[in-house]
Each structure stands twice: as C-alpha cells, then as structure tokens.
Amino acid sequence: MSLTDTERRINLTTRAFADGRLEDTAILEWAIELKPDQIAEREALRDLVEYQPKPVRDPYSLAWRCVFEYWERPDVETHREKYEIRRQLKGGGSPRETIRLIVDAVRPWLQIDTSKRLRALSGEAQPARPRHLKHLIYASISSGSRLMPADIGLQANEDRNFLFELATALNAALLAGLNLGHMIGSISKDMDVTNWQIHRAYFVPPEQYPDGGGEPDRHSEGFAPSTKLMFAVMERLSSLDLQAARRVIDNWDREGWTLYRRLWAAAARNPALVDSDEVAAFLIELSDREFWWASAHPEFAELRALRWATLSTDNQNRIEQRILRGEPAKLIPSRIEKSDRAGYRDHHVFVELRRIQAAGGNLTDKGQEWLDDFATRSGDLPAIELTHGFNQGVRLIHRVRTVENTFDAIPTTKLLDELAKSLADTGWDDKSQNASEFIAENASVVLGLLTKAEGAVAAKVWQALGYAYRPANLNATPDTASQEDKDKILIALSICVSIVDERATVLSKAIDGLASFMTSWDRLLTSREEFQNAWLRLWPFAVEKTNSSKADRSGYSQEAFNSPAGQLALAFVETCPTVKKGDNPLSQGRWPQMLQAISETIGIARLHAQFVLVRELAYFIAAAEQWSRDFLLQPLINALESQETTVLWEAFSMAHLPQKEVVAELAPSLVAAALSDRLSSEVRGDLSERVVWSALTDRVQNAEPAVSLDLIQQMLRLGTDEVRTEAVRAFSQYLAPDDDLTEEERFEIVNSVFSDVWPKELTLSSKAVSERLARLPAEAASCYVEATEMVLPYLTPFDCWSLYDFGVIDLDEDRGDFNIINDPKKAAALLSIMDRSVAGDDGAIVPGGLDKALFHIKKVAPKLEKDPRYQRLLTLGRR
C-alpha cells in the first residue's frame, strides 16, 4: 500500500514509538482505538509484529492477531445496508455487489474492548503477568444487523445461480466467524457460545411464537444473523433446485462444528433433502448432551420427532430404548436432590416420548406402556408440544400482581408502619408497588401522618412519596396542564411546606425520592415560593448524598443528571424566570440564597451543578453575570487543567452558543478543548461545530469574529477527522432554508468563511471528511456548481454506497430523481464530484444508482459522455 509523505512520517514515528513495547498493555489499548483512516499507524504496527527479530510471546501475540482482525471488520451501519440491498435488488444492480452487501450486513466479526470491561463484569483482578487473552483484551463475536428474508426479497427471488452463490458466500462468512470464535476461546471442546447465542438455526414461523414473544433470535447478534439467513437461502434454493441445495448442505462442516450439525438437523427435517438412513445414523450417533439437552440443541429433538415415522422399525426401537433408559446420571444437575433424581429422569423421558407423539409419531407397545404407567403414577400431566423446552428468546409478559391492595382497612395509627414494611429496601415487588400507589393516591392523608412517624418509617414513606406523587404530564406548565394535574398542585405545595419542617435525619435518608419529586414538579410550581423554600431545605442533603456516592466516570452526563445534586440543579434551571434586557431577575426573592447555596457547594456535587448549569451559560450570563463568571465561566476556561473538570466542556458541547463577547473570552480555551485528547471525539466534534457556527453568524453580521479565523484554521488543521467532519456539518446546517436569507446569500456566507478557515493542505483529506464534503454542493441547491468548486480540491475517494451520499436524489426510493442537476454545468459538477469520490482500484465500491446518475448526466449534457471521467465510471459500473 502506497503512503503519502505525511503518512510515511507518521508510520516511522509509530514504529519508533511502539518498537520494543508490543508486550505493553497500554500500546494494545491504543491500537484498539485506531480509526480506519489511520492507515500509517496500522501498517506500522502490522510490520512491527510480523518482522520482530524476537517473536512476540503469547498471550500478547494472540492479542495482536485479534487487534488486526478487529481492524478488518465490515464498515456497515445498522439499517442503511438494508436500504442499499433493497435498492440493488429493485434496480437490477450487480449480483456480485448485492451479495457482498448482504454478506457484510450479517457477517460475524471480532469485537474487542480493553480488559477493563471483563474485569468490570467478572470482578476478576488484573494479574501482574497476563497469562490468558482475557487479561489483555475482552474479545467476543459480534455482527451487523439482522436481515430477515423479506429484507432481501427472498421469497420472490427465482434466480437459482444468485441463490447458490449467496448461500456459498454466507457459508464462507459463517465458517470464518466460527474460526474467529475458536481463536479467542469462545468455541472449544468445553464451551460453545453458539449453543446459547443461537436459539434456533432457522427462522421460526410466526405460528410457533409464544405469548408475548416473537422470533427467538430477533435480538441476537454474532452468529445468529448469518446462520439463519444462510438456512433461509438454502431453503429457498431447495424449492428451485434440490441438487444445488444438497450441495450447499454437503459443504457444511458438521464434523468440526456443533452449529453445522444443528443446521444439518434443521435441513434434514425435509425428507427431500436428506434420506431416512442418514437421519437415523445421525440420531443414533448423537452424544448424550446432544440427545437430551433440547434447550441447547433444539434441532436434534425436533428432527427426531418429525422424522420418526420415516425411520425403520429397527432404528425406531434403538432410539426409543435409549430414551427409555433415561438421561445419564452425569448430565443431571447437581442441584437436584438424590431423592428427586429418578423423578427428574422420568419427566425427561415423558417429554421426549410425548414430543414424538405430538409430531404424529407412533411409539412401540413398550413405549406406550411406559407412558401409561407414568401417567398413572403422576396424575395430571402437562401437554407437550413439538417445541416444548426450546429457548423462546425474549418475551414481554403482562404480569398479574400476586398481592392485592390491603391498606384501606388498616387503622390510621398503624398505616405508616404497614406501608413502611411493604416498601422494599432494594428491588421492586408487588407489595412495594401496592404501597407506592396507595401513598400516591392518598398523599394528603399520608402527609398528615408523617410529622408524628418514627424516623426510619418516615424516611421510607417520604422516599416513596417523592417518587410516586407526580403529575401525569411531566412537561406540562400551569397553562398547559390537564385538570387532573392542576388538582394535584395544592397537595404538591403542601408537600413542599412539609419538607421545610421535616427532621434533618429523615430528609437525609429520603433525599433520592425527594429530589425526584422536585424535578417532577419544577414546571408546574415554577414561580411558587413554597417550592423554592423546599429546594433550599433539600440542597444541603442533596450535596451530602452526591458527595458520598461512588463516581462513575464512564457516563458522566447520566451521573450528573441523576444524582440528587444534579436533579435539584435541573429543577433550579427549570424554575428560573425569564430575563429581559436591563433586568436582573435573580437578584430578588429567594434567588440570591439559591445562587449562594450553589456557589458554596464543594466536592463532586459542585461539579454536577456546574455540569448542569453550563448548558445554560448564555442565560446565566444575562441573568446573573458576575455570579456566572465566577461559578461557570472561569471554571470552564480552566477546565482542561484537571482531568476531573474536563467534563465541563462536554456540558458546553450540549449548549447553545452564549453571547459573542463570552465566546471571544472562551475562544483560546474552546479551541484547545476541541483539540484535547482528554475529551471524546464526539465532544471535540461538537465543539468544532460551535466554533464554525460562531464564525458564520459573525460573518452574516459583518462583525469581527469572536474566534479569530487563524485560530479556527489551526483547530481544523491540528484536529482529528471528527473535528473537521463536524465543522462541515456546521456549514451544512447554515445552508438550510431560512426566511431571512436567500439560498445565494447563505452560500455566499458559507463560501467566504470556508475559504478563510479551511486548511489548504491536501494531506488532511480523508474518507470521513470527504464523505461529508461531497454532500455540501447538493445542500447549496441553486449554488451547486459554485459549491462544487469550493469542495472539489479536498475530496478523496471514500466508501460511497449510493448516490444518496452525494445528496442529489430524494431519500424516498420511489422518487429517485435528480431535480438538482438540471443544466449542463451542474451535470459536469456532479461528474467531477463522483470522479473524485469513487475509487478506481480493484475492489472499489460501486455506488448504487451510478448507472442512473450517468444516464441523467448524459441526458442533461450529452457531450460529457465522451469525457474520460464519464467513461471510467461507466466501465466501473459494468463490473
């Protein structure tokens, strides 16, 4: 693979950096995070591992093989490939390309993460000397989306050659996935994840769906999508050409893999595909586990029952005798008491004999006598269907409560005690739900009793009251609330008053529920003094509880929004009054006390409050400028100085841009944050988008930019692909229709800013950025030609799957027209973009609809048919 000069320098730097450190966990974890366009770094690591004078030792050697395999996973997006497949099939696309799309959509591939995930799941400590792969990386088998037969139009497809090639390609992908599973230890002699990852090797017909369920593998990833689709394709092929279907089945390596044995058994249900002697030999040779464990091998039990009538009498007798002998003692779970083992064994014999009868099979006299005797000994027996004991996958069952409401008859003096007893300390059960609903429905009565309740009882009931008493519509305001919610307001205000008077020890224990109450009622009680008083009373307890909780750095926004301090901060924001120019609304009433309480907060609660409030920085600068500068703006400017406070930039990335003078003050720190590797790529991209949007809004006002153009250009030059991609998104959003500006005026603004800030180094071009830039001309609409001239120098080939990537046709597949391309100049511009974007090397992706685009270009501008670029793309589309 040829590298650019810049990539060669990166390659050499990576070699120097990683040489001698291939048995360093930190280097492995860094390699896992390398993006597909970081080609130079990836090639350097591959070469280092392959050409090391001293081979890398296991388990590091295996870990590196896994990393390299992980890099090769298909780059498919959920649902998008389904759309592309339908377009290929509907538009008569290339069979080769269609098959590739289908296989890549369901192919099993290696998913890896750092070993921290396994340690978090298992609690296993990291050893000083890693001995197994799991000590270095967490490896598993994943896949793309789940394609149903209808997604590829299988039932209507009568192309025998296409189906045979597709079945063969799916089999190759599945076998490769099984080998990957074996490599990482997911499939071995002692363990096989396919036994529990795949509930059934074929798509289960709807008539077999259980109550509240559906197709048992509808939520399964890994091996299930390719396995089930391959079987469906084989079945469709068998309806057109039995011999071709048999050849597909013969290629299944059932001697080496249990999954292929399950697939073969599913196929053998059809007598036209597998004869009775083969079925009998297969059933007789099953291991004890395969013979008896229907939940793990449902296809074997089903095959035995469905093909029973086609077996010879001798083979029926042999199999029936094995059933009557019962499950071997070694397979009976140790949890079964010795005295219960005979009954356990007999029950399984009963199930398998009745399964045969459920499929229409006849037992021998001996088998029937056993059943009759078992029925006499056992009394009432359950009905057994063909699929009894098979894993049904996820089911949604409406649970009927086993406990009825029993609080109405309890004397008032004992009511709170009984409610507290019914409220579980952990978890949620029928008693807790009944108690919680009773409290919500009788809030006024409960509230009157709480002042006299013992502390522990009061705390449990207060907690439940806080969670349960809420308006039906949490987004309602006093003007939009239903009458039902308006009727609840008086009791909600009474709760606020009671909170102020409640004992500190009780509030401390009930703070989680009471914080939830405050966020439930903030919009309906927005201007009420009772609510503000309750907030002030609860804030110290919310701070205390938040600071005593263990921090979870993996999802900071969720942590901040869900902590007691974070919830009260959210309630504070919702109740803040509207600010008008010249007003200072937070200087009156209880607001100064609330601001002071927040600013005096310490610990993680302070950071949670800042995280919530920074999202409304523009408001607080307008409503309480000095307070906001001290508590929000300055901490944000200094946020990169500490790993803990960097999360404030994540909060800012969720916010609207503040006032121009504030953006100017933030500018150096804002750009530094967009370039900081302490922040996620998503956050850096969002910050970049806001920087560019600031430049656009300043330009339309002919104002000096709040962030200097040189600083923006430096951000785009030094930033990652996400930084540049999200910057392009800002340009795209600015081109969206606007009542104040015409299309031409909007594009003129975009063009002028883009020309000023976009780095001129062509070495910065990448697939990800090009994919976003290629859509920009279509978003410029009438300025398509000018926008093409703007972006064309920075385009490089990327994986364009469809003409939708260029934005020139409607997203509705039934209206695939090219309304934007309506004159020769625009046709030439589209040709230029496609030529730059579609690679010409072997294996290049041919975008769906390329032939239609070329036909449209020829129709609008006939002279372009002789253009070498047109001819290249035309040849590519014929592959």
* Bond into 328 cis (ω within 30): no
The gap from C-alpha 444 to its chain's centroid, in whole angstroms, comes to 43
263 vs 559, higher pLDDT: 263
Residue type at position 167: A
808 vs 746, higher pLDDT: 746
Longest dimension (CA), the chain: 98
| DSSP H stretches of helix in 423-478 | 430-441, 443-450, 455-468
Give percent of the chain with pLDDT exceeding 90: 50
Task: Using the predicted structure, report yes or no on whether residue 298 has a pLDDT greater than 50.
Answer: yes
The 3-state DSSP class for residue 285 equals: coil
Task: Using the predicted structure, report yes or no on whether residue 614 has a pLDDT greater than 90.
Answer: yes
- The answer to whether 198 and 224 have CB atoms below 8 angstroms apart is yes
What pLDDT does residue 843 have?
62
405 vs 538, higher pLDDT: 538
Task: Using the predicted structure, report yes or no on whether residue 99 has a pLDDT greater than 70.
Answer: yes
Q: Looking at residues 708-712, what average pLDDT do you find? A: 95
Task: Using the predicted structure, report yes or no on whether residue 505 has a pLDDT greater than 80.
Answer: yes
Q: Looking at residues 147-170, what average pLDDT do you find? A: 90
- The answer to whether 617 and 579 have CB atoms below 8 angstroms apart is no
In whole angstroms, what is the distance from residue 729 CA to residue 766 CA?
15
38 vs 666, higher pLDDT: 666
Q: Model confidence at 23, in pLDDT bands (50, 70, 90)?
A: confident
Residue type at position 363: L
Per mean pLDDT, which range of 76-80, 197-201, 333-337, 493-497 is the poorest? 76-80
DSSP state of 139: E
- The answer to whether 319 and 346 have CB atoms below 8 angstroms apart is no
| DSSP H stretches of helix in 576-708 | 591-599, 603-614, 617-623, 625-628, 634-637, 647-653, 660-675, 681-700
What pLDDT does residue 285 have?
93
CA torsion through residues 524, 526, 527, 533, sign = positive
Long-range pairs, 428-432, Cβ under 8 A, ≥24: 430/401, 430/402, 430/403, 431/403
The gap from C-alpha 86 to its chain's centroid, in whole angstroms, comes to 23
Per mean pLDDT, which range of 21-25, 102-106, 394-398, 873-877 is the poorest? 394-398
What are the C-alpha distances in Å from 582 to residues 404, 585, 622, 660, 814? 59, 10, 9, 18, 55
Task: Using the predicted structure, report yes or no on whether residue 134 has a pLDDT greater than 90.
Answer: no
Task: Using the predicted structure, report yes or no on whether residue 121 has a pLDDT greater than 80.
Answer: no
CA torsion through residues 542, 545, 548, 549, sign = negative
Task: Using the predicted structure, report yes or no on whether residue 425 has a pLDDT greater than 60.
Answer: yes
Ramachandran sector of residue 822 (left: φ over 0; alpha: ψ -120 to 50; beta: rest) = alpha
Q: Model confidence at 554, in pLDDT bands (50, 70, 90)?
A: very low
List the beta bridge partners of residue 5.
none
Helix (H) or strand (E) run with residue 870 in it: helix 868-877
Helix (H) or strand (E) run with residue 265 in it: helix 258-267
Question: Tokens 């959509």 map to which residue?
Answer: 105
The helix/strand count (H/E) of the chain reads as 44, 2
DSSP conformation letters of 185-198: TSBSSS-BTHHHH-
φ/ψ of residue 667, rounded to 5? -45, -55
- The answer to whether 630 and 576 have CB atoms below 8 angstroms apart is no
- The answer to whether 791 and 837 have CB atoms below 8 angstroms apart is no
In whole angstroms, what is the distance from residue 567 CA to residue 558 CA?
11
276 vs 337, higher pLDDT: 276
What pLDDT does residue 79 have?
45
φ/ψ of residue 844, rounded to 5? -65, 145
Q: Using alpha carbons, select from 507, 469, 509 the residue that is nearest to residue 489.
A: 469
The gap from C-alpha 101 to its chain's centroid, in whole angstroms, comes to 21
Written as six digits, the tokens of 548 are 């005593």
- The answer to whether 345 and 326 have CB atoms below 8 angstroms apart is yes
Task: Using the predicted structure, report yes or no on whether residue 400 has a pLDDT greater than 60.
Answer: no
Helix (H) or strand (E) run with residue 114 in it: strand 108-114
Q: Looking at residues 518-528, what average pLDDT do you find? A: 92
Residue type at position 177: G
φ/ψ of residue 141, rounded to 5? -100, 125
- The answer to whether 173 and 55 have CB atoms below 8 angstroms apart is no
For 254-265, b where at least 16 C-beta lie within 10 A, e where not — what string? beebbbbbbbbb
The radius of gyration of the chain from alpha carbons, rounded to an integer in Å, stands at 34
Task: Using the predicted structure, report yes or no on whether residue 190 has a pLDDT greater than 90.
Answer: no
Task: Using the predicted structure, report yes or no on whether residue 625 has a pLDDT greater than 60.
Answer: yes
756 vs 15, higher pLDDT: 756
Helix (H) or strand (E) run with residue 21 in it: none
Task: Using the predicted structure, report yes or no on whether residue 437 has a pLDDT greater than 80.
Answer: yes
Written as six digits, the tokens of 203 are 């798509």
Written as six digits, the tokens of 818 are 């090219």
For 831-866, b where at least 16 C-beta lie within 10 A, e where not — what string? bbbbbbbbbeeeeebbbbbbbbbbebbeebbeebee
Q: What is the mean pLDDT of the chain?
A: 87
In whole angstroms, what is the distance from residue 204 CA to residue 231 CA?
11
Q: Looking at residues 384-395, what average pLDDT do you find? A: 79
Can you point out the beta strands (E) in 129-274? 137-143
Per mean pLDDT, which range of 333-342, 617-626, 743-752, 820-829 is the poorest? 333-342
